[in-house]
């Protein structure tokens, strides 16, 4: 079944090229049709790959250039459980996006779908690649398609989001490439497993640390982890809602997944002796992102921007899961990222419905004008974000916390605070828009988004059934994910295999099957269930407080300063990127040598 | 092998970063971005360089002749192609910004804040 592995990349790219060629000669529906068909096909391939990665990775060498004597000249796709899951997630979200776009845009040329297909192809390649340089190429291809998609507004909004996106991500990519160059100079390899073999058995010297720093920083920019997150919120505010679904559900998740994907095969050898220090660094970064994302989400009035900060917060929680460096947490992270990505996608599609029907995505302006169906889906999604059992995100977060080793007993508190803030922000918006609760004046939340335009006298009517249907489908799959038979156990087995570097290297480079490790299906403890119920209740309480008590108490200097940091000026963002990378590098040098 | 090319690569990266951070014009900013990108070309080519070695074209030369590393040259070429695409898109967006807002100063472009 090896032949399936390159299909998720080949199909969309070929379809994109063909569609671009015939674009001017075909009817308008043809673009939707082809993109929908290809995304659905890739989803099926992704799920099939996922079911086949149960006991071993799928390693595919392009052109049959298999490694000999441990030297890989060829280029490999190395599909593990998490990679296949993310590939399936990306294609599924893309399918929902295409279905939604069919009714969302008044008119789209075929080029919009060409861009979507290129984005899908690069995302799939990024999820499946086992070769460091190809990760870079797919990352850049993803950026190129995404800049164009961000600027593809049908509304005359500021283009500054697209610019900030391109420039900051450009720097992320340079850092990554610089790191790749250093690694190649040291090891003479680009295959992740082979790099790991060459580095293992040596101490982490300056060059390895700088390479690790640059590669990690490059991926963290893509993931939108603080302090590299500034571009993300700007890009969301400008991009059309269906495109935001792909950013939130796919791009951030993949950037984060890449950190795990590169750390264990390539760097866990030399850095393994400093696990405690590395754990502290990554968990600190994750917690900072989680709290900042939650707090900033609570201070937004533009729904897309709010969801951007929710994404930053949730990605922070996922980074904690990776940073704990245990198999249980990593398994939890995979489940969390996939189910949460689906829920966030669903929420963004509901925002798309509101933008389409009300001509505004602004919480205060839309007060009391919401549609019942969209309100129900939005509130349910908000509760899932807050961690209400039995949603998939609850399940994943519980496993992340349970995978924590000693010394991180306070972890659930920090993660719960972040979830409460994110959930409360969304519930507050749902209450205000659908039920008309609260006031429509809230100076703390700031000025109205400059992209808002005057309402036309007769709001255009998109097809609600199709649009809400797509949102509800994402939500149901996201919430019900842990119910997929055997999925939690499978995630844990895949995580255990990723952590076993020598066995993974032997599997990739010599084709030796990995040892079978008996795993039990993990399930959340009673403590986690109680904590999550408390988190959901806290979110509801905080939302009610915000709606009926007002937000006047938040008019404080620290909060104003926090908001002022997100200045929208790209040169500031690059400064943050530089300073953040330098600080991270200083910490690495002090603690990881 | 001298350290000069590596120092040059780092210098280009730092200078480009400085240019971007202090830029008051989008076209200038995007050009500084390409200066940063050039640092990766220099780095990659320096890694593959070998003294007294020929170009990696293995035709008509005796077996065992020293040649520079062809892999990094392929990487550089890919990198150039990718950067052209990014550059073109960013400049296109800059043109759009100028048409709509009449300014190219990053601090004056209307932005989403807070």
3-state SS string for A25-60: HCCCHHHHHHHHHHHHHHHHHHHHHHHHCCCCCEEE
pLDDT beyond 90 at A92? yes
Are A563 and B100 an interchain contact pair (Cβ–Cβ within 8 Å)? no
Å from B62 to nearest chain A CA?
Answer: 23
B51 inside 8 A of chain A by CB: no
Rounded Cα distance between B48 and B71, Å, is: 8
- Tens digits of per-residue pLDDT, A325-370? 999 999 999 999 999 999 999 999 999 888 888 878 888 888 888 7
Burial pattern A504-526, b for ≥16 Cβ within 10 A else e, equals bbbbbbeeeebeeeebeebebee
A301 within 8 A of A426, measured Cβ to Cβ: no
Q: Residue B107: its chain A contacts at CB < 8 A?
A: 569, 571
Are B107 and A571 an interchain contact pair (Cβ–Cβ within 8 Å)? yes
Q: DSSP string of A156-189?
A: ---THHHHHHHHHHHHHHHHHHHHHHHHHHHHS-
Q: Residue B44: its chain A contacts at CB < 8 A?
A: 177, 181, 184
Are A177 and B79 an interchain contact pair (Cβ–Cβ within 8 Å)? yes
pLDDT beyond 70 at A454? no
Number of H helices, E strands in chain A: 24, 2
Are A184 and B71 an interchain contact pair (Cβ–Cβ within 8 Å)? yes
Interface test with A, best of B5, B71, B106, B112 (most A CBs within 10 A): B112
- Tens digits of per-residue pLDDT, A108-167? 778 899 999 999 999 999 999 999 999 999 999 999 999 888 877 655 566 788 889 999
Chain A, nearest residue to B114 by Cα: A563
Map tokens 């659930």 to a residue.
A412
Rounded Cα distance between A223 and B13, Å, is: 23
Q: At what angle do helices A252-262 and A303-323 cross, to 10 degrees?
A: 10
10 Å Cβ neighbour count for A84? 26
Chain A, nearest residue to B101 by Cα: A158
pLDDT beyond 70 at B41? yes
How much is the pTM? Answer: 0.94
Q: Residue A564: its chain B contacts at CB < 8 A?
A: 113-114
Q: How big is chain A by its Cα radius of gyration, in Å?
A: 22
Per the prediction, chain A carries an average pLDDT of 89
Q: Residue B26: its chain A contacts at CB < 8 A?
A: 163
User: What percentage of chain A carries pLDDT values higher than 70?
Assistant: 96
Q: How big is chain B by its Cα radius of gyration, in Å?
A: 19
Å from B113 to nearest chain A CA?
Answer: 5
- State residue A158's pLDDT score: 62
Are A578 and B17 an interchain contact pair (Cβ–Cβ within 8 Å)? yes
Q: To 5 degrees, how large is the angle CA A206–CA A207–CA A208?
A: 95
Rounded Cα distance between A122 and A38, Å, is: 14
**Between A137, A166, A184, which is nearest B90 by CB?**
A166
Q: Residue B94: its chain A contacts at CB < 8 A?
A: 163
Are B82 and A137 an interchain contact pair (Cβ–Cβ within 8 Å)? yes
A265 within 8 A of A504, measured Cβ to Cβ: yes
- Tens digits of per-residue pLDDT, A486-537? 888 888 888 988 899 999 999 999 888 888 777 777 888 888 888 889 999 9
pLDDT beyond 80 at A446? no
B20 inside 8 A of chain A by CB: yes
Å from A444 to nearest chain B CA?
Answer: 10
- Tens digits of per-residue pLDDT, B43-96? 999 999 888 888 888 888 888 888 888 899 999 999 999 889 999 999 998 998
Q: Residue A174: its chain B contacts at CB < 8 A?
A: 13, 36-37, 39-40
pLDDT beyond 50 at A30? yes
- State residue A136's pLDDT score: 94
Number of H helices, E strands in chain B: 3, 0
The DSSP letter of residue A443 is G
- State residue A462's pLDDT score: 56
Q: Is B100 helix (H, G, I), strand (E, B) or coil?
A: helix
- Tens digits of per-residue pLDDT, A96-120? 999 988 878 776 778 899 999 999 9
The DSSP letter of residue A71 is B
pLDDT beyond 90 at A553? no
Compute the Cα dihedral for A359, A361, A365, A368 and give only its sign: positive
- State residue A460's pLDDT score: 53
- Tens digits of per-residue pLDDT, A374-390? 889 999 999 999 988 88
- State residue B106's pLDDT score: 87
Interface test with B, best of A165, A174, A451 (most B CBs within 10 A): A174
10 Å Cβ neighbour count for A389? 19
Q: Residue B111: its chain A contacts at CB < 8 A?
A: 158, 160, 234, 567-569
Q: Is B67 helix (H, G, I), strand (E, B) or coil?
A: strand
10 Å Cβ neighbour count for A591? 13
Rounded Cα distance between A360 and A454, Å, is: 9
- Tens digits of per-residue pLDDT, A470-479? 899 999 998 8
B86 inside 8 A of chain A by CB: yes
The DSSP letter of residue A61 is E
User: What percentage of chain A carries pLDDT values higher than 90?
Assistant: 56
Contacts of A307 (CB under 8 A, 6+ apart): A236, A244, A248, A297, A344, A347, A348, A351, A426
Interface test with A, best of B47, B107, B114 (most A CBs within 10 A): B114
- State residue A111's pLDDT score: 87
- State residue A265's pLDDT score: 94
Å from A278 to nearest chain B CA?
Answer: 26
Q: Residue A571: its chain B contacts at CB < 8 A?
A: 20-23, 29, 106-107
A466 within 8 A of A389, measured Cβ to Cβ: no
Are A147 and B86 an interchain contact pair (Cβ–Cβ within 8 Å)? yes
**Predicted complex ipTM:** 0.95
- State residue A451's pLDDT score: 52
Å from B3 to nearest chain A CA?
Answer: 13
Instruction: Kindly state the average pLDDT of the residues A214-218.
Output: 96
Q: Count of CB contacts below 8 A, A vs B?
A: 135
Are B29 and A167 an interchain contact pair (Cβ–Cβ within 8 Å)? yes
Q: At what angle do helices A570-591 and A160-187 cross, to 10 degrees?
A: 30
Q: What are phi and psi of A513, to 5 degrees?
A: -65, 145
Chain A, nearest residue to B19 by Cα: A571
Chain A, nearest residue to B9 by Cα: A178
- State residue A127's pLDDT score: 95
| Band of residue A455 on the pLDDT scale cut at 50, 70, 90 | very low
Are A184 and B47 an interchain contact pair (Cβ–Cβ within 8 Å)? yes
Residue A93 tokens read as: 């979200």
Better pLDDT: A9 or A68 = A9
Closest by Cα among A461, A430, A427, A236 to A358: A461
Residue A33 tokens read as: 């049709």
Provide the pairing of β-strand A76-79 with A58-61: antiparallel
Which element (helix H / strand E) includes A91? helix A81-104
Are A170 and B47 an interchain contact pair (Cβ–Cβ within 8 Å)? no
- State residue A457's pLDDT score: 38
| Band of residue A483 on the pLDDT scale cut at 50, 70, 90 | confident
A573 within 8 A of A231, measured Cβ to Cβ: yes
| Band of residue A272 on the pLDDT scale cut at 50, 70, 90 | confident
Q: Residue A170: its chain B contacts at CB < 8 A?
A: 33, 36-37, 86, 90
Q: To 5 degrees, how large is the angle CA A7–CA A263–CA A478?
A: 55
Q: Residue B17: its chain A contacts at CB < 8 A?
A: 171, 574, 578
Rounded Cα distance between A537 and A420, Å, is: 8
| Band of residue A197 on the pLDDT scale cut at 50, 70, 90 | very high
**Between A170, A190, A237, which is nearest B112 by CB?**
A237
Contacts of A386 (CB under 8 A, 6+ apart): A419, A420, A422, A423, A424, A427, A535, A536, A538, A539, A540
Q: What are phi and psi of A56, to 5 degrees?
A: -155, 165
B40 within 8 A of B79, measured Cβ to Cβ: yes
- Tens digits of per-residue pLDDT, A219-257? 999 999 988 999 998 888 788 888 899 988 889 999 999
Are B26 and A163 an interchain contact pair (Cβ–Cβ within 8 Å)? yes
- State residue A481's pLDDT score: 85
Closest by Cα among A166, A233, A143, A230 to B91: A166
Rounded Cα distance between A247 and A232, Å, is: 9
Are A158 and B111 an interchain contact pair (Cβ–Cβ within 8 Å)? yes
Residue B94 tokens read as: 């800059």
């Amino acid at each position: 079944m090896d032949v399936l592995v390159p299909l998720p990349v080949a199909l969309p790219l070929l379809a994109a090229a063909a569609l671009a060629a015939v674009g001017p000669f075909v009817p308008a529906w043809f673009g939707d049709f082809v993109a929908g068909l290809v995304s659905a096909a890739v989803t099926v391939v992704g799920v099939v790959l996922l079911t086949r990665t149960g006991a071993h990775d799928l390693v595919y060498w392009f052109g049959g250039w298999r490694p000999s004597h441990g030297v890989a000249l060829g280029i490999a796709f190395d599909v593990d459980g998490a990679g296949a899951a993310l590939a399936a997630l990306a294609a599924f979200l893309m399918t929902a996006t295409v279905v939604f776009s069919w009714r969302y845009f008044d008119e789209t040329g075929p080029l919009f779908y060409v861009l979507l297909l290129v984005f899908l192809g690069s995302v799939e390649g990024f999820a499946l690649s086992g070769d460091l340089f190809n990760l870079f190429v797919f990352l850049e291809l993803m950026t190129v398609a995404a800049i164009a998609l961000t600027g593809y507004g049908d509304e005359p909004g500021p283009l500054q989001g697209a610019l900030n996106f391109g420039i900051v991500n450009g720097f992320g990519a340079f850092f990554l490439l610089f790191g790749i160059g250093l690694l190649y100079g040291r090891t003479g390899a680009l295959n992740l497993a082979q790099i790991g073999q060459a580095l293992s058995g040596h101490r982490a010297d300056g060059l390895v640390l700088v390479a690790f720093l640059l590669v990690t920083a490059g991926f963290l920019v893509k993931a939108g982890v603080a302090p590299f997150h500034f571009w993300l919120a700007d890009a969301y505010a400008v991009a059309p809602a269906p495109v935001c679904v792909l950013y939130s559900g796919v791009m951030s998740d993949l950037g984060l997944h890449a950190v795990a994907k590169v750390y264990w095969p390539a760097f866990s050898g030399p850095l393994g002796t400093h696990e405690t220090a590395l754990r502290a660094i990554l968990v600190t970064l994750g917690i900072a992102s989680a709290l900042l994302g939650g707090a900033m989400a609570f201070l937004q009035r533009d729904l897309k921007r709010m969801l951007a900060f929710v994404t930053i917060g949730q990605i922070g929680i996922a980074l904690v899961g990776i940073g704990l460096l245990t198999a249980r947490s990593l398994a939890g992270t995979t489940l969390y990222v996939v189910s949460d990505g689906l829920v966030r996608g669903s929420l963004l599609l509901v925002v798309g419905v509101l933008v389409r029907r009300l001509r505004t995505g602004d919480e205060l302006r839309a007060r009391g004008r919401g549609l019942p169906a969209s309100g129900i889906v939005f509130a349910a999604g908000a509760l899932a974000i807050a961690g209400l059992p039995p949603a998939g995100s609850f399940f994943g977060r519980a496993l992340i916390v349970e995978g924590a080793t000693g010394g991180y007993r306070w972890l659930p508190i920090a993660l719960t605070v972040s979830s409460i803030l994110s959930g409360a922000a969304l519930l507050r918006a749902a209450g205000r828009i659908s039920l008309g609760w609260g006031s429509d004046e809230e100076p703390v939340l700031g000025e109205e988004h400059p992209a808002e335009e005057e309402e036309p006298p007769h709001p255009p009517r998109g097809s609600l059934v199709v649009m809400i249907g797509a949102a509800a489908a994402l939500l149901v799959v996201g919430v019900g994910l842990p119910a997929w038979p055997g999925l939690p156990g499978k995630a844990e087995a895949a995580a255990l295999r990723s952590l076993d570097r020598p066995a993974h290297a032997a599997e990739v480079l010599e084709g030796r099957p990995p040892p079978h490790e008996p795993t039990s299906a993990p399930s959340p403890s009673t403590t986690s269930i109680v904590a999550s119920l408390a988190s959901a209740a806290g979110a509801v309480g905080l939302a009610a407080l915000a709606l009926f008590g007002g937000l006047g108490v938040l008019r404080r200097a620290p909060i104003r300063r926090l908001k002022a940091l997100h200045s929208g000026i790209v040169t500031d963002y690059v400064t943050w990127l530089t300073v953040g990378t330098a600080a991270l590098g200083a910490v690495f040098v002090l603690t990881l040598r | 092998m001298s350290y000069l090319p590596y120092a040059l690569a780092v210098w280009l990266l730092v200078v480009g970063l400085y240019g971007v951070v202090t830029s008051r014009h989008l076209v200038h900013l995007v050009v500084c971005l390409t200066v940063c990108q050039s640092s990766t070309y220099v780095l990659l080519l320096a890694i593959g360089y070998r003294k007294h070695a020929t170009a990696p074209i293995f035709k008509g030369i005796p077996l065992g002749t020293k040649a520079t590393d062809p892999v990094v040259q392929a990487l550089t070429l890919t990198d150039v192609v990718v950067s052209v695409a990014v550059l073109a898109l960013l400049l296109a967006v800059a043109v759009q910004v100028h048409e709509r807002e009449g300014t190219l100063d990053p601090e004056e472009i209307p932005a989403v804040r807070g």
